[in-house]
A = this chain, B = another copy of it.
Amino acid sequence: MNVFVCSEINAGQAKLMPEEAFHCFKVLRKKEGDEIILIDGTGNFYRSVIRSISKNKCESEIIEQWKEVEKGYYLHVLMAPTKNISRFEWFIEKSIEIGIDEITPVLCKHSERKNIKLERLQKIALGAVKQSLAASIPRINPMTPFDEVMKQELQGYKICAHLSQEKKHLKHLIPARSHYHVLIGPEGDFSENELRLLNNNDWQMAVLGNKRLRTETAGLVATQIINGIHF
């Protein structure tokens, strides 16, 4: 099954994003009268019938609408992207499969990777959403310096996954059905100053198990732990 992302819905009529129209027309060879499933990126699915289609435009008429199963929480993972970007991209893909709402790449003192291609990451996210037949597209933020993250007013639980002396497991630190921000440190660990700032800004330290995990694995494990407390 394929789902397509629409750019606009108005009075029961939907327009596909241009690249989606191209794929629909050129690759899948859909034509007027064919049924397609659309998503709006915010949790809604639509069954629709194509009324007009060309290589950069597709308009369809909505005949049915339904909502994605709600997971009942909001998860924002903040992570220093890995030196090898494919490992970070892998995290984006897999966390979307499990369920995530927002991802912020964070620039830490010991980050080996200083920049990212935001558009590429957003494209990977979109692909993962379509692949996993979800209807919500997570927000991928631009690279944000650690100090700026500390200044942000984040509502909900702020947890930093860190193999420190603190031995509380993430799952014991948070109640279900809330809003979570989970920060994962860089491959070279946080600096002393960053650890001090985390403490000063009320981030709770948590462990994800008793093994040392790679950055991207830690991100995914945190995503699954939070998903798991909702069952």
Contact = CB atoms under 8 A, between A and B. Distances in A.
A8 B177 CA distance: 52
Interface stretch (A57-65, A92-100, A114-122): A92-100
A209 B172 contact: no
Contacts of A213: 97-98, 132
Contacts of A221: 98, 224
Contact of A210 (B69, B209, B211, B224): B69
Interface string A169-183: 101100000000000
Copies in the complex: 2
Interface residues of A, number: 27
Interface in A188-231: 209-214, 217, 220-221, 224-225, 227-228, 231
A20 to B, nearest CB: 21
Nearest to A69: B210
A39 B210 CA distance: 18
A98 B216 CA distance: 12
Contacts of A212: 132-133
A132 B211 contact: yes
Give 8 closest A-B pairs by Cβ, nearest first. Answer: A169-B231, A224-B224, A97-B217, A69-B210, A221-B224, A209-B227, A228-B228, A97-B213
